[in-house]
């Protein structure tokens, strides 16, 4: 039994060490994703408490968080130097895509917000 | 011995059956006619009534009826007419103009009568048609009546000329060439002949006048008759445009015959009965609707009023409904057609007939008494002991002066319908509810003179009986026109029943067992209403006598539903009840504090994000330092911020189109600036990598 917890602790520690090696830019993106998802969770919890009226507002709020999180994940994939697939894509280009997509997403979200 | 008696009886029967029919109500000309005349004949502003002929007709009617003709309007008429007389006009216009002058009493100094006379005399000589002769001769006669000296040159020839147009059946043609003849033309011809005789004086051969008298007799053979003795002339076999109608034809013949009778030395062989029949015809029109008809009626009656054959006398009743309760007297007026004074007469009531033509045997011939003050013949009805009802009264009028009997036409038997009304007593009125086996009865007396209401109750196994007796003032049993008992339910469903009559009593028996279906199984309170009515009943009954609580069994499923009651029109078409809108209840919203709390909670992850960024070690080292790229970088971030601000404004108050427009501009700007910034950063990092 003690070995199990020990193993878990060892696992977590090794993950932490590996994560510390990731570049800062990627860490920023990860933090952004965590932030977006946390906001979404808070909104869902609120809806669970007070009911889904008005439903469109709830949807737009949650989807904006989820959408931006998804775009951030895409950005991370594209910017990651270890990713062989996107070797030739300049990170600035990826970032420009990220900004553009976010702007379009937020336009739609604002329209749907009501 | 028996033969003359039988013949006498036969004649009596024939006369009786010919005369025994209801007569129309005839009244002499009265003030109602005068006011109708003033309403019908309305002069225009210049005093004329249309054409010269119409003006003449209006003024002649006014003259006969005694309507005031002295108004200032008619001075203008005088002037127009005198102008007409001096200018060349047709003979017809001359005739009418001269007549108008005579009626209005216009000043005749300015009128050149010699010229007019010569014109008319030429017209007489050259006349080719009956109407030309009529108008010119009439004009000459009017001039003569004004006091001027008029000579008719060839009176005999003129007489012959008119007579030549006559037919063998008493009618006349209009001129030599026309083939059709008419009775209307006969009237005109007779008047023209009368004018010739008046103008010529004693120049006319009396034998010729005798021939015309025969023609008149033949003409009167064509007279038509109504059942009540009214006589009139009508045309058959005439051209449609020549057809004048019975009133015009009878009027023309009446004027013609009376005019001729005035100039004929011997009396015309027309009975007084015919004159009376014609008078009745004109009077039975009542008040005519058109001006022409009015003129025809009044003009004819005026010629009959003072004719030389016999003067018609008209019997009329000022009131035909007489009340036994008020002890009304039977009043009768006998006057001339214009309502003027008749000579001394005896009026007797010969017979009183019931509607089915049976004689009231208790009545014997009675002579009416005369009231000289009001000029009315009257009779007291109470001693006669005649019961209530509708009766035909048969009168006979005879002139007291035996010489005068010839002068006046009174007719044989005059029939008038009258109503005798009275108070009908209601006796022995009872209402009772009994069981079906008639074992027990709860009888209640009804007193219909009081306002009391009775109240009963019954179930479907019982019977309702209502009975009463009606008695006339003289004690006979009375059968009213209408007796109905109505039962009305609370829901306004009504049922009507008619009581049966037997000997002296009216009885209604309602067996509720058989009526359950008819009543639609509706239990509850039924109001009982009784209606008894008749034309001669002064105290008709229409009232509620009480109510009955009916207990009927339940309706089976297939029973008929009671008919829908008529909806009160006011409720259907009147204002409806006000609709209060029920708005959708607003959704339950969470309390404000909770919402605000969660809003704050949403900000927390952002703060966590910023703190995390700091912990990671975010720096601005990559921010371009040299001027141009720096500005672009700043513009890039500023552009993104502007777009986000635009989104906030869009949420707050802008609409999509404005937003898209602004976004278009910002987007283009941002693209440009972003491209510059990012390409600069890319080139910088590439240089770093290379280096």
pLDDT at A1: 59
Are the Cβ atoms of A39 and B674 closer than 8 angstroms? no
Q: Name the burial class of residue A63, with classes exposed (0-12), middle (13-18) and buried (19+) by CB atoms within 10 angstroms of its CB.
A: middle
Q: Name the burial class of residue B339, with classes exposed (0-12), middle (13-18) and buried (19+) by CB atoms within 10 angstroms of its CB.
A: middle
pLDDT tops 50 at residue B21: no
User: Contact, B149 vs B140, CB < 8 A?
Assistant: no
Could you give the residue ranges of the DSSP H alpha helices within B375-495? 404-407
pLDDT band at B16 (very low <50, low <70, confident <90, very high): very low
pLDDT band at B628 (very low <50, low <70, confident <90, very high): confident
pLDDT at B22: 45
A110 inside 8 A of chain B by CB: yes
pLDDT digits (tens, 9 = 90+) for B526-565: 999 999 999 988 888 898 888 888 888 888 887 777 777 7
Residues of B in contact with A50 (CB under 8 A): 589-590, 594-595
pLDDT digits (tens, 9 = 90+) for B305-320: 888 888 888 888 888 8
pLDDT at B17: 43
Are the Cβ atoms of A99 and B663 closer than 8 angstroms? no
B609 inside 8 A of chain A by CB: yes
ipTM of the complex: 0.88
pLDDT at A39: 93
pLDDT band at B410 (very low <50, low <70, confident <90, very high): confident
pLDDT digits (tens, 9 = 90+) for B200-245: 877 778 888 888 888 888 888 888 888 888 888 888 777 777 788 8
> Nearest Cβ partner of B656 from A38, A103, A111?
A111
Q: Report helix, strand or coil for B594.
A: helix
A81 inside 8 A of chain B by CB: no
pLDDT digits (tens, 9 = 90+) for B500-511: 988 788 888 888
> Nearest Cβ partner of B605 from A38, A103, A110?
A38
**CA B216/CA B187 separation, integer angstroms:** 10
**Torsion angle, CA of A21/A27/A33/A39, rounded to 10 degrees?**
110
pLDDT band at B24 (very low <50, low <70, confident <90, very high): low
**CA B685/CA A90 separation, integer angstroms:** 10
Are the Cβ atoms of A103 and B602 closer than 8 angstroms? no
Work out whether the CA dihedral A57, A63, A64, A65 comes out positive or negative: positive
pLDDT band at A76 (very low <50, low <70, confident <90, very high): very high
pLDDT tops 50 at residue B18: no
B480 inside 8 A of chain A by CB: no
**CA B364/CA B350 separation, integer angstroms:** 7
Are the Cβ atoms of A27 and B643 closer than 8 angstroms? no
Are the Cβ atoms of A39 and B643 closer than 8 angstroms? no
A39 inside 8 A of chain B by CB: yes
Nearest Cα residue in chain B from A24: B616
Task: Return the structure tokens found at B450.
Answer: 């009081």
A48 inside 8 A of chain B by CB: no
Are the Cβ atoms of A24 and B606 closer than 8 angstroms? no
pLDDT tops 50 at residue B15: no
| CA-to-CA separations, B514 to B208, B526, B552, in angstroms, rounded | 88, 17, 11
Residues of B in contact with A110 (CB under 8 A): 647, 650-651
CA distance B691 to chain A (A): 17
Residues of A in contact with B612 (CB under 8 A): 31, 34-35
A103 inside 8 A of chain B by CB: yes
B60 DSSP β-pair partners = none
Are the Cβ atoms of B590 and A49 closer than 8 angstroms? yes
Residues of A in contact with B594 (CB under 8 A): 49-50
Q: What is the mean pLDDT of chain B?
A: 84
> Nearest Cβ partner of A110 from B589, B647, B679?
B647
pLDDT digits (tens, 9 = 90+) for B602-626: 888 899 999 988 888 777 777 777 7
| CA-to-CA separations, B172 to B131, B186, B356, B402, B515, in angstroms, rounded | 11, 5, 46, 38, 75
pLDDT at B668: 93
Are the Cβ atoms of B674 and A43 closer than 8 angstroms? no
pLDDT digits (tens, 9 = 90+) for B271-326: 888 888 889 899 988 888 898 899 999 999 998 888 888 888 888 888 888 888 88
Are the Cβ atoms of A106 and B647 closer than 8 angstroms? yes
pLDDT tops 70 at residue B588: yes
CA distance A2 to chain B (A): 33
Nearest to B139 by CA among B25, B52, B209, B64: B52
pLDDT digits (tens, 9 = 90+) for B348-375: 888 888 888 888 777 888 888 888 888 8
pLDDT at B3: 54
pLDDT tops 90 at residue B491: no
A32 inside 8 A of chain B by CB: yes
pLDDT at A31: 92
Are the Cβ atoms of A92 and B682 closer than 8 angstroms? yes
Are the Cβ atoms of A39 and B651 closer than 8 angstroms? no
Does the pTM of the predicted model rise above 0.80? no
pLDDT band at A16 (very low <50, low <70, confident <90, very high): confident
Residues of A in contact with B688 (CB under 8 A): none
pLDDT at B52: 85
Task: Give, for B495, the enclosing helix (H) or strand (E).
Answer: strand B494-497
A95 inside 8 A of chain B by CB: yes
Q: What is the mean pLDDT of chain A?
A: 89
pLDDT at B4: 54
pLDDT band at B20 (very low <50, low <70, confident <90, very high): very low
pLDDT digits (tens, 9 = 90+) for B137-194: 888 888 888 888 888 888 888 888 888 888 888 888 888 877 778 888 888 888 888 8
Quickly count: other Cβ atoms within 10 Å of residue B300's Cβ: 25
Q: Is B524 left (phi over 0), alpha (psi -120 to 50) or beta?
A: left
pLDDT at B23: 52
Residues of A in contact with B613 (CB under 8 A): 28, 31
A51 inside 8 A of chain B by CB: yes
């Amino acid at each position: 039994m003690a070995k199990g917890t020990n193993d878990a602790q060892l696992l977590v520690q090794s993950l932490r060490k590996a994560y510390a090696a990731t570049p800062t830019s990627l860490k920023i993106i990860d933090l952004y994703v965590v932030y977006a998802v946390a906001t979404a969770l808070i909104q869902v919890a609120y809806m669970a408490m007070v009911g889904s009226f008005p439903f469109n507002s709830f949807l737009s709020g949650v989807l904006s968080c989820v959408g931006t999180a998804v775009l951030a994940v895409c950005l991370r994939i594209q910017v990651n130097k270890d990713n062989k697939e996107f070797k030739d894509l300049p990170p600035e280009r990826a970032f420009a895509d990220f900004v553009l997509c976010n702007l379009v997403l937020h336009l739609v979200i604002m329209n749907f917000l009501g | 011995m028996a033969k003359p008696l039988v013949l006498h009886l036969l004649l009596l029967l024939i006369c009786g059956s010919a005369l025994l029919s209801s007569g129309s109500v005839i009244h002499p000309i009265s003030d109602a006619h005068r006011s109708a005349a003033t309403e019908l004949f309305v002069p225009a502003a210049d005093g004329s009534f249309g054409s010269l002929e119409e003006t003449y007709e209006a003024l002649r009617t006014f003259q006969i009826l005694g309507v005031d003709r002295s108004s200032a309007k008619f001075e203008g008429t005088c002037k127009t007419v005198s102008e007409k007389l001096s200018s060349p006009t047709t003979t017809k216009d001359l005739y009418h103009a001269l007549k108008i002058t005579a009626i209005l009493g216009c000043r005749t100094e300015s009128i050149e009568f010699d010229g007019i006379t010569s014109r008319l005399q030429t017209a007489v000589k050259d006349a080719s048609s009956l109407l030309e002769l009529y108008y010119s001769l009439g004009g000459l006669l009017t001039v003569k009546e004004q006091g001027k000296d008029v000579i008719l040159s060839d009176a005999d020839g003129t007489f012959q000329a008119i007579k030549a147009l006559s037919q063998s059946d008493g009618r006349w043609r209009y001129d030599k060439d026309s083939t059709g003849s008419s009775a209307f033309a006969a009237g005109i011809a007779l008047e023209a002949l009368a004018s010739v005789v008046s103008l010529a004086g004693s120049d006319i051969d009396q034998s010729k006048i005798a021939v015309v008298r025969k023609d008149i007799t033949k003409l009167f053979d064509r007279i038509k008759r109504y059942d009540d003795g009214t006589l009139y002339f009508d045309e058959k076999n005439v051209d449609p445009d020549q057809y004048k109608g019975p009133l015009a034809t009878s009027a023309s013949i009446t004027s013609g015959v009376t005019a001729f009778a005035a100039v004929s030395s011997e009396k015309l062989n027309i009975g007084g009965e015919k004159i009376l029949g014609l008078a009745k015809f004109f009077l039975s029109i009542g008040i005519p609707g058109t001006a022409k008809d009015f003129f025809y009626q009044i003009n004819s009656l005026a010629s009959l009023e003072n004719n030389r054959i016999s003067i018609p006398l008209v019997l009329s009743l000022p009131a035909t409904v007489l009340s036994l309760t008020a002890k009304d007297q039977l009043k009768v007026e006998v006057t001339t057609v214009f309502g003027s004074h008749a000579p001394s007469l005896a009026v007797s009531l010969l017979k009183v007939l019931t509607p089915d033509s049976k004689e009231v045997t208790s009545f014997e011939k009675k002579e009416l008494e005369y009231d000289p003050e009001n000029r009315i013949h009257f009779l007291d009805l109470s001693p006669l002991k005649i019961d209530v009802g509708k009766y035909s009264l048969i009168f006979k009028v005879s002139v007291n002066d035996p010489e005068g009997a010839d002068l006046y036409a009174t007719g044989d038997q005059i029939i008038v319908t009258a109503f005798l009304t009275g108070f009908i007593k209601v006796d022995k009125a009872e209402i009772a509810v009994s069981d079906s086996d008639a074992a027990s009865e709860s009888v209640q007396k009804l007193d219909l003179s009081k306002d009391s209401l009775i109240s009963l109750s019954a179930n479907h196994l019982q019977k309702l009986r209502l009975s009463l007796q009606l008695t006339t003032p003289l004690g006979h049993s009375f059968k009213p026109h209408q007796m109905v008992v109505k039962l009305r339910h609370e829901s306004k469903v009504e049922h009507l029943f008619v009581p049966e009559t037997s000997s002296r009593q009216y009885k209604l028996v309602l067996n509720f067992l058989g009526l359950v279906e008819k009543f639609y199984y509706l239990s509850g309170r039924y109001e009982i209403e009784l209606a008894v009515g008749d034309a001669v009943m002064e105290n008709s009954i229409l009232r509620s006598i009480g109510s009955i609580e009916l207990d009927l069994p339940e309706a089976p499923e297939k029973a008929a539903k009671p008919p829908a009651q008529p909806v009160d029109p006011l409720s259907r078409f009147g204002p409806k009840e006000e609709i209060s809108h029920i708005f959708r209840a607003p959704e339950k919203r969470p309390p404000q504090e909770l919402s605000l709390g969660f809003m704050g909670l949403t900000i927390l992850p952002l703060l966590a994000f910023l703190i995390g960024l700091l912990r990671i070690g975010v720096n601005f080292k990559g921010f371009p330092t040299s001027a141009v790229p720096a500005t672009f970088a700043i513009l890039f971030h500023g552009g993104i911020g502007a777009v986000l601000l635009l989104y906030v404004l869009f949420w707050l108050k802008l609409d999509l189109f404005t937003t898209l427009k602004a976004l278009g501009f910002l987007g283009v700007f941002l693209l440009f600036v972003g491209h510059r910034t990012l390409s600069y950063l890319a080139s910088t990092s590439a240089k770093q990598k290379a280096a």
